[in-house]
């Protein structure tokens, strides 16, 4: 049997792991911003309720991604100043 891969645990993370997560977080944020921009353009063209709701969901998602990024940067600062 294959042993399951260890999950990312912020409290036990090293500086390299936190940096990797920050890079991944930035990639996801850029992708979400791009999709949000495309949804807003589509909404402006079609005036569709679906695209309006999708844009609202994406804005909420961006809020949570930014919150996670703040937590990761705080952890990075803790690891640097130890």
Q: Looking at the domain assignment, is residue 6 inside a domain? A: no
Q: Looking at the domain assignment, is residue 7 inside a domain? A: no
Q: Report angle CA 76, 28, 44 to the nearest 5 degrees.
A: 135
Q: Looking at the domain assignment, is residue 26 inside a domain? A: yes
28-62 residue pLDDT tens: 999 999 999 999 998 889 888 888 899 999 999 99
Q: Looking at the domain assignment, is residue 58 inside a domain? A: yes
For the chain, the domain total comes to: 1
- Virtual CA dihedral for 33, 36, 37, 40, nearest 10 degrees? -160
pTM for the model: 0.80
Q: Looking at the domain assignment, is residue 8 inside a domain? A: no
CA-closest candidate to residue 11, choices 65, 79, 80: 79
Tokens of 65: 């991604």
pLDDT band at 70 (very low <50, low <70, confident <90, very high): very high
* Residues of the domain holding 76: 13-80
Q: Is the dihedral of CA 19, 25, 31, 36 positive or negative?
A: negative
Q: How many CB atoms lie under 10 A from the CB of residue 18?
A: 21
Q: Looking at the domain assignment, is residue 1 inside a domain? A: no
């Amino acid at each position: 049997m294959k042993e399951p891969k260890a999950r990312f645990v912020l409290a036990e993370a090293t500086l390299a792991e936190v940096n990797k997560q920050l890079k991944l977080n930035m990639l996801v944020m850029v992708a979400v911003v791009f999709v949000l921009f495309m949804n807003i353009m589509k909404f402006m063209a079609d005036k569709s309720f679906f695209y309006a709701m999708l844009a609202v969901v994406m804005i909420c998602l961006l809020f949570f991604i930014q919150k996670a990024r703040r937590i990761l940067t705080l952890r990075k600062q803790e690891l640097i100043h130890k």
